[in-house]
Amino acid sequence: MQKVKKNNQAGFTLIERLVTVLILGILAAMAATGYIGYVKDAKTAEAKSLLGSLWTSLQACAQLKPGDTTSCTTTSQFGRIGVSTGGVTPDGRWTVTGGIASIDATTNVYSLSANLKAVGAEDAANIEVEMGYDNAKSPPGSFTCKISGTTTAC
């Protein structure tokens, strides 16, 4: 007597596989969007931190050397914050420019500004942070900070 073979096929149909791939594609797209935003936020935080260091150094210089516009420049402070003389960070991702706009030698009223811009591949993120301080404005010590490519302040 011959045995009849049952045709028990196991596995997934083509439709089931396509639906699975579609769902995975949607999840991957959502994850990529979130990750890109996370990376940009991290780069912005890094930029603000670097400018904060430069900012502190420039303010200290302006207060320790009243009226000295040659010693208190961005380039003179680069070594204190670990930036090369060309204004580029050690990892080559940021360029720092700016400095003290003006110092009145008699009243020590000073206006500071500093700008940090992404370079190379980082430039695609369009991150540019600018900080400003003017101790002659009202209220004294008015501080401004803005990030290009966004509508929010620092």
In which band, very low, low, confident or very high, does the pLDDT at 54 lie, cut at 50, 70 and 90?
Answer: confident
pTM of the model: 0.58
Q: How far is CA 44 from CA 39, 47, 99, 125, in A?
A: 9, 5, 20, 10
The Cα–Cα gap between 129 and 153 comes to 9
Q: Give, as one character, the DSSP assignment of residue 151.
A: S
* 72, 100 contact by CB (below 8 A): yes
- Report residue 98 CA to chain centroid gap: 17
Please name which of 44, 100, 43 lies closest in space to residue 75, comparing C-alpha atoms: 100
- Report residue 99 CA to chain centroid gap: 19
Phi-psi region of 13 (alpha: psi -120 to 50; beta: other; left: phi over 0): beta
Phi-psi region of 126 (alpha: psi -120 to 50; beta: other; left: phi over 0): left
Q: What's the pLDDT tens digit per position in 72-119?
A: 776 777 777 777 767 777 777 777 776 655 666 566 666 666 667 766
What is the model's pLDDT at position 124?
A: 44
